[in-house]
Amino acid sequence: MISRLLVANRGEIARRVFRTAREMGISTVAVFSDPDAATPFVREADHSVRLAGSTPADTYLRGDLVIAAAQQTGADAIHPGYGFLSENAEFARSVISAGLVWVGPPPDAIEAMGSKLGAKRMMRDAGVPTLPWAADITAAAEVGYPLLVKASAGGGGRGMRIVRDQADLAEAVEAASREAAGAFGDATVFLERYLDAPRHIEVQVLADSHGNVVSLFERECSIQRRHQKIVEEAPSPVVDEALRNQLGAAAVAAARAVGYVGAGTVEFVMTADGTFFFLEMNTRLQVEHPVTELITGLDLVRLQLHVAAGEPLPATALAPTIDGHAIEVRLYAEDACNGFLPVTGTLRSFEVPAGVRVDAGVESGSEVSPYYDAMIAKVISHAPSRGESAGRLAAALAASRLHGVTTNRDLLVRILREPEFLAGRTDTGYLERHDPAVLGAPLLDADAGQVAHLAAAALALQTVSRAAARVWSGLPSGWRNNPATMQRVTLNADGCEAAVSYRFGRDGAITMDVDGRPVEVALHSAENHVVDATISGTRRRYHVVIAPSGETVDVDSSLGASSYRVVPRFADPADQVAAGSLVAPMPGAVVRVLVSQGATVSKGDPLVVLEAMKMEHTVASPADGTVVELRVEAGKQVDAGAVLAVVEGPAG
C-alpha cells in the first residue's frame, strides 16, 4: 500500500484527497505557491513544500518541482487531483520513471484522450457516435454553423468560443487559442458542430489493472455558464434504465478501447429524443465526483488509491446500486449579475449549515486571489428523492453566511427552486432562457428586507459603540436630555447609500427612520452578534458581524444576506475617482488595449481586455465620448479599482 501521498494540486481537491488518505492511515504532502502559503490545504497536510514557479499561475504546472518535492519528503505516490498536471501524459511518465506510484490512468491513455482531436478520431474508429468536427479552420463550412471553437488540450470551459457566422470565426479562433495557451500550455484548437441546448450527460467509469471496467452511472451536468458546469446531479432526471444501460455500455467500451485504469469520465451530449454523441473523456477525477459517491456509497479517492496500488476493484464497486438523489452546486467568487465576472478579496465569513456535504478550499478569513479558478467550494446534498435533495440544498445555501466577496450563491438558490429545474427540464441553454441577472439578484428583498437589515445593522453598531464607551456606557447611543436630535449612520451597499437615523427614549422606545421613512422598531436584545428585534411588525433574529475596524457590517437573517460599508462622516478627497473613469473590476494582467488616446468611442465599446483567473474579460466604455486618458498598456498588471482609461463625454 501507499504510505505517503503527495497531492499535486491545491484548494478543495487537495483537502478532499487528504481526507481519505488520513482515513486510510496514509501520510500526506502538500505543494504550494506563494499566494497559497496560508491556505487550509497547506496547514492540513503532514508535510508541505513551497514550489518556486516563475509566476503563481504556472507554479502548479512545474512537474519537475513536484517530483522533487515528493523525493524530498519521502512520498511514494502522487495524486494529481484535477486540472493543472492531472491530464499531462509526460508528467505521469516522469512520476513513474522516478519510481513513484502514479494515482491515475496509464500515460498512453492520458495521451490518447488528452487530445480532444485524438479522442474523437479514436471514438469514430471504434464506432462511437461523434459530432461533425474538423482540425482545420478552412473546413468550417463542412462542420456547419453554429460551431464551437474548442481547445484540444482544454477543459473547464476555457479555450471555447461559439461561432454562428463565418465573419466571427477568425477572431474566435485567435481568442480561444490565446486562452488555451495560457490555461494549458497548448494553443491547439479545433472546430466542432455546436448543438443548441442539448443535455450534457457524463458517465463515471472505474477500471483496474485486472481487466475490470465498470460504469458507476450517469451524472446530469447541463446547467452551465461559459461552458463550465455549475449544477450537477446524479442520476439524471431523464435517463431511464434502458438509456442508462446504453450510456454505461458506451462509456465502458470507450474506456476499454483506450486501455483505461483508474477513475475517469466519458462525456456525452444528448438530444431531446435520447440520441447521444461522444464529447470527450476526462482521464482524471471530476469536480462533480461527490454526487456519484453519495448515490453509490463509494469513496472514489479510496478506490483510486487501491487501484493504483495494484489491487482489484472490490465487489461493492463491481456491482454498484443507486440510492436516492444527489445534487452538487459550485460556489464561485463571481458576480452573476455582471457577466459572471470573477471577484477577489478576503472572505470575511464562510459558514455553511450542517446537513450537506461541503468540499471547500477556503474558510473564514481566506483570501481569494486572481491567480486561480474562481471556485471556492462545492456544496452537495443527498436525499431519498430529487425534490427533497434540491430543497435541502437550497435551504442550506440560503442560510449560509458568505461575506467579503461576491458569490453566485443567490443564483444557485433560485435555480434549485425554479419550476423548470424542479421538473427536470434542464439543458445547456438553461441560463439563456433564464436571465442570470434576474436569477442571481440578491435574495434579500430590495425594499422591506433591506430596511430590516439596515435597521438591524444600525442597532448592532450602536450596541458596540456603547459597549466601547469609557463613560456612561449604560446609556444607549445617541441618548440626549433634549430629544430633538437623532443619531445617524450612513451605510453603503454596492454603491447605494442609505441613512439610518434613530433615537432611544427614556423608556427604551426607539424612534427610527431609513432615508426619512419611519420604521417601527422594538429591540429585545443585542449581544454575541445577534440582534433580536421586531422590525415593521415581525420579530426575527439577525446575525450581525461588525469588522474590528468598524468599516463593514455583515447581516444575515431568514430574509437573506447583506453587507454594508460604514460611510465616514468626512470623505477623503484622495478616494474620489474622476467621472468617466474606466476602472479594473478585478486584479489581472492587461492582455490587449483596443483603443488609443483621443479615440471616439460609444457606450459599450470594448476598450481593454484583462486576464484573471485564467479567463479573459473585456472592459467596455461606460459612456459615449472621447478617450482623454489611457493609463495602461499590454502586459501590465493592474489592481482592482485601478483606473485604466478616462472617457470624457461630449461638451454640453
Residue 398 parent element (H or E): helix 386-398
Instruction: Name residue 79's beta-bridge partners.
Output: 7
Please give the grid coordinates belonging to residue 420: 423548470
Catalytic residue, candidates 193, 284, 357, 409 = 284
Active site includes 592?
Answer: no
> What is the full DSSP assignment across 171-216?
HHHHHHHHHHHHHHS---EEEEEPPSS-EEEEEEEEE-TTS-EEEE
Judge residue 399's burial from the number of C-beta atoms within 10 Å of its C-beta, 0-12 exposed, 13-18 middle, 19 or more buried.
Answer: middle
The packing angle between helices 11-23 and 300-308, to 10°, is: 70
What amino acid occupies position 579?
Answer: A
Residue 323 and residue 296 in contact, taking contact as beta carbons nearer than 8 Å: yes
Distance of CA 530 to the CA centre of its chain: 30
**Strand-strand pairing, 341-342 and 510-514:** unpaired
CA–CA separation, 620 and 622 (whole Å): 6
Q: Any idea which residue has 477556503 for its cell? A: 362
Instruction: Name residue 55's beta-bridge partners.
Output: none
Sign of the CA dihedral running 221, 223, 227, 228? negative
Sign of the CA dihedral running 77, 82, 86, 87? positive
Judge residue 537's burial from the number of C-beta atoms within 10 Å of its C-beta, 0-12 exposed, 13-18 middle, 19 or more buried.
Answer: exposed
The long-range contacts involving 496-500, CB below 8 angstroms and separated by at least 24 positions, are 497/567, 498/450, 498/454, 500/454, 500/455, 500/457, 500/458
Sequence-distant (≥ 6) Cβ neighbours of residue 177 within 8 angstroms: 151, 159, 187, 188, 189
Sequence-distant (≥ 6) Cβ neighbours of residue 202 within 8 angstroms: 218, 219, 221, 265, 266, 267, 268, 286
Residue 604 and residue 618 in contact, taking contact as beta carbons nearer than 8 Å: no
CA–CA separation, 1 and 260 (whole Å): 21
Residue 290 parent element (H or E): helix 289-296
Distance of CA 375 to the CA centre of its chain: 3
CA–CA separation, 587 and 129 (whole Å): 43
The long-range contacts involving 60-63, CB below 8 angstroms and separated by at least 24 positions, are 60/8, 60/9, 60/10, 60/31, 60/33, 60/84, 60/85, 61/85, 61/185, 63/8, 63/88, 63/90, 63/91, 63/94, 63/95
Sequence-distant (≥ 6) Cβ neighbours of residue 268 within 8 angstroms: 200, 201, 202, 203, 247, 250, 276, 277, 278, 279
Active site residues: 284
